Amino acid sequence: DAKTTQPNSMESNEEEPVHLPCNHSTISGTDYIHWYRQLPSQGPEYVIHGLTSNVNNRMASLAIAEDRKSSTLILHRATLRDAAVYYCILRDLGMLTFGGGTRLMVKP
Amino acid sequence: NAGVMQNPRHLVRRRGQEARLRCSPMKGHSHVYWYRQLPEEGLKFMVYLQKENIIDESGMPKERFSAEFPKEGPSILRIQQVVRGDSAAYFCASSPSQLVGGTEAFFGQGTRLTVV
């Protein structure tokens, strides 16, 4: 699987937007970019995915660079409930391979 | 539509005992994936099963661990003769079909195994 690189941790203030970066310079043409998050003591939860175009859903937005070598998960207004580990995963076929992710801390 | 159900949520076993972890996938899902998360570590893939078939077990330890997904009933992850190093959270995920490109997986809340 192509590898992703994410910062180990990030901090945000409540009610402010959060931009979580992910680098994936070895992405292949058929790899989808997926984001999952894991809240404390819970199982991973799907957030969003995309291939080439930017994507929006009720949870977040995904901005994909034109060359697809990086992407950014955008939480428009962070809440305390968004404190979690966020995983950026590339997948073409088969199981999800989790890296270290970014631990997002949200300050009130 | 109930989500992926795992039970028990917490399991305590003495060294040498057997642990059985159950996973009921979402309704209509016939593909199941098991992951293990050691304390303060990331999720590691263990095994991928379809009904009555093991598709990929490349992440399963060679000894003491086995998994099944029968035609009827939940998927079972079985750990024989548990050791302290088996203490971890075990997560199950399901999908309606093989995970390709844009397909999402749905995870359960996990079983936290503690070996004493």
Q: Which residues of B have a CB under 8 Å from any CB of A?
A: 4, 33, 35, 42-45, 48, 56, 91, 93, 98-102, 104-110
pLDDT tens, A93-106? 777 889 899 999 99
A84 sits in which H/E element: strand A84-91
pLDDT at A3 over 60: yes
- The whole-number pLDDT of residue B97 equals 77
- The whole-number pLDDT of residue B99 equals 65
pLDDT at A2 over 80: no
Rounded to 5 degrees, what angle do the CA atoms A45, A22, A76 make?
A: 60
Nearest to B25 by CA among B102, B97, B103: B97
- The whole-number pLDDT of residue A60 equals 96
Of residues B1 and A59, more confidence is placed in A59
Contacts of B48 in chain A (CB under 8 A): 94-95
Task: Tell me the count of A-B CB pairs closer than 8 A.
Answer: 56
Is A95 close to B106, i.e. CB distance below 8 A? no
Mean pLDDT, range B83-94, rounded to an integer: 96
Half-sphere exposure of B66 (CA within 13 A, CB side): 7
Of residues A92 and A53, more confidence is placed in A53
Helix (H, G, I), strand (E, B) or coil at B98: coil
Tell me how far apart the 2 most distant CA atoms of chain A are, in Å: 40
Nearest to A47 by CA among A19, A80, A86, A13: A86
C-alpha separations of B80 from A13, A20, B20, B54 in Å: 46, 41, 9, 19
**Angstroms from B13 CA to nearest CA on chain A:** 20
Give CA–CA dist A10/B29, Å, rounded.
35
CB B3 within 8 A of CB B110: no
pLDDT at A4 over 80: yes
Mean pLDDT, range B82-88, rounded to an integer: 97
Give CA–CA dist A83/A40, Å, rounded.
8
Question: What average pLDDT is seen over chain B?
Answer: 93
pLDDT at B1 over 70: no
Q: pLDDT class for A89, splitting at 50, 70, 90?
A: very high
Mean pLDDT, range B90-106, rounded to an integer: 84
In percent, how much of chain B has pLDDT > 90? 83
pLDDT tens, B33-66? 999 999 888 899 999 999 999 999 999 999 999 9
Q: Give every CB contact of residue B56 below 8 A, 6+ residues apart in sequence.
A: A94, A95, B47, B48
- The whole-number pLDDT of residue A97 equals 87
Nearest to B31 by CA among B64, B53, B15: B53
Is A51 close to B102, i.e. CB distance below 8 A? yes
Give CA–CA dist B103/A8, Å, rounded.
26
